Amino acid sequence: MSSSLKLGFLASKNGSSFRAIVGAIRDGRLPAEPRLVVSNNRKSGALEFAAAVGVPHLWLPTERDPAAADLALRDAMTSAGVELIVLSGYLRKLGPATLSRYRNRVINIHPGRLPEFGGEGMYGRRVHEAVIAAGVRVSGATIHLVDEEYDRGPVLAQRDLPLDPGETVDSLEARITALEPLFFVETLLAVATGRLQLP
């Protein structure tokens, strides 16, 4: 991994972490280059933002032919010189070609503690509903490597968030959403500076 991270991004919607990471790069807080952002949603806010700030971007539909889309994604990231792929609210499972090419080089942020509140179907608001229902005192966010199974890859970093008295799904969702982008930037900085080693 070079000292200046060559990043690719996958986003299905707004791409809030993608936006925060690009902002940190532009401010000089993160030694990295945004090489490419790909979305499976033609109307995603992430693609609009990428166009506005001059980051190369690509719409790549996945539903009609997932295998072809997997190969196209792998090739697009490789051609762009991407070394590390960041998932920023990407709502599709990655295929074998991309995962093989980028083994231990795809990272995701999960809006809860893993492994307790992860797995298939556990994303977004569903995580916060499960946390509240479980009656635990601490939630948080987890940054992990991506493999073939949902939320199973090795954990790289975890940020705890104690629940407030009377915490609701809405309040927890808002608080976790607010902490995620900076947490992602800080974790990538740790990777870029060698303080956090990828396998």
Instruction: Walk me through the domains of the chain, giving residue ranges and CATH numbers.
Output: 5-113+142-159+180-192 (3.40.50.170)
pLDDT digits (tens, 9 = 90+) for 42-51: 999 999 999 9
User: Rounded to the nearest 5°, which phi and psi values hold at 25?
Assistant: -65, -45
DSSP annotation string for 72-112: HHHHHHHHTT-SEEEESS--SPPPHHHHHHTTT-EEEEESS
pLDDT digits (tens, 9 = 90+) for 146-158: 999 989 999 999 9
* Predicted confidence (pLDDT) at residue 3 exceeds the cutoff of 70: no
Q: What is the mean pLDDT of residues 10-37?
A: 96
Structure tokens at 6: 């060559």
* Predicted confidence (pLDDT) at residue 2 exceeds the cutoff of 60: no
Whole-angstrom distance, CA of residue 120 vs CA of residue 152: 10
pLDDT digits (tens, 9 = 90+) for 74-110: 999 999 999 999 999 898 889 999 999 999 999 999 9
Whole-angstrom distance, CA of residue 62 vs CA of residue 44: 14
91: left (phi over 0), alpha (psi -120 to 50) or beta: alpha
Q: Work out the percent of the chain whose per-residue pLDDT is above 70.
A: 98
Catalytic option among 57, 110, 128, 144: 110
**Dmax (CA) of the chain:** 50
Would you state the pLDDT for residue 5?
96
Give this prediction's pTM. 0.94
Would you state the pLDDT for residue 199?
92
Task: Kindly report the average pLDDT of the chain as a whole number.
Answer: 95
110 counts as catalytic: yes
* Predicted confidence (pLDDT) at residue 52 exceeds the cutoff of 90: yes
